[in-house]
Structure 1
Amino acid sequence: MIKEWDLLQNILVFNGEGNAWFVLDYSSEPPHVIYIEADSKEVIKVAASFEEFLKKLTYKELSQEYEKDSWSKEEAETIFLGQEEFLIEEVLLSYQDTEDIEWYLAKLLQLTEHSSLLVREAVASVIGVKTEYFLYESPEPSLKILNGIINNLSRDKSKDIRREMKEVKEQYDL
């Protein structure tokens, strides 16, 4: 993995997903905990030691807003304009079976430009799973929006998102 992603040497990956990881950097003593985002080559020092990292971990009760099972479209639109990426992802996924496909696709299109990689990955995941449904169940204007989403994500700075959209295009001949 270190060679594949051209990562720093002397590291031990202990948590991660996709192309971003928390690692122990053994180039210093004690090893620092750093966060690496491979696509952007971003490296952030999180803690001077693993012990310090553990001390910084906290448990946070979910707010009532996170505990909701459903949100109105107005609430969802407000959430989509924000920066709470986990809440955006949760609301995004809760609406994936909505009957208002055109509204949902318009929101997905909007979120393809979100600054958060997690949000854009969530959009790509929905497209990867639901493209067939959208192709056969959407009114004609929605198909243009779907193509816009796929085109935007095909130009994303994340290599994983671009690869996923390439697979969607090939699978559905888009």
Structure 2
Amino acid sequence: MGSAMQAVIVYESMYGNTRLIAEAIAEGVHRAAPDAEVSCLPVADAGADVTRGADLLVVGGPTHMHGMSSGLSRKLARSAAEKHGTDVEAPGGADSPGLRTWLRALPETATGTHAAAFDTRADMKMSGGAADGIAKRLSHHHYDVMVEPEGFVVEDSEGPLRAGELDRAQTWGASLV
């Protein structure tokens, strides 16, 4: 009998919304596969050793300027938050590498490792999303991206999440198993 499925959820979060979605996805995976080993980690804590053993890698981040965050967009988000007196959570420090850098360094995987991408985004016509770029980069590293990238809606650039999005994230997580 093989070992339990290893699912790893890696996220980047500025205001905590993406972290909440990542945790809900982890919960959904765990509900669908109770014996799976599920790790949910901020990008700063997700070294190659963590992703290497994964049967399922789920990666998500906030949408900044129509796509994935960058050093510049994180700096802008931080200064906007400071203006509003909002807390910014940047595990590993505000200058820790974001998803873009992390994905660049992601080791290639054996074909057949499943992956999925998600983002948090504003519900605006032109807001775009980070998930497509994440999915493209996962495919580039030979991950088998098994579902369309998914976006979860925040009401405002700093949140909160739209009502029902955490349940939707749980359901989505369960569907990945």
Scaled by the length of structure 2, what TM-score is found?
Answer: 0.27
* Structure with a larger share of its residues in helix: 1
Kindly indicate whether structure 1 or structure 2 has the higher relative contact order, using CA contacts under 8 Å at least 6 residues apart. Answer: 2
* Structure with a larger share of its residues in strand: 2
Scaled by the length of structure 1, what TM-score is found?
Answer: 0.27
Q: Which protein is bigger by CA-based radius of gyration?
A: 1
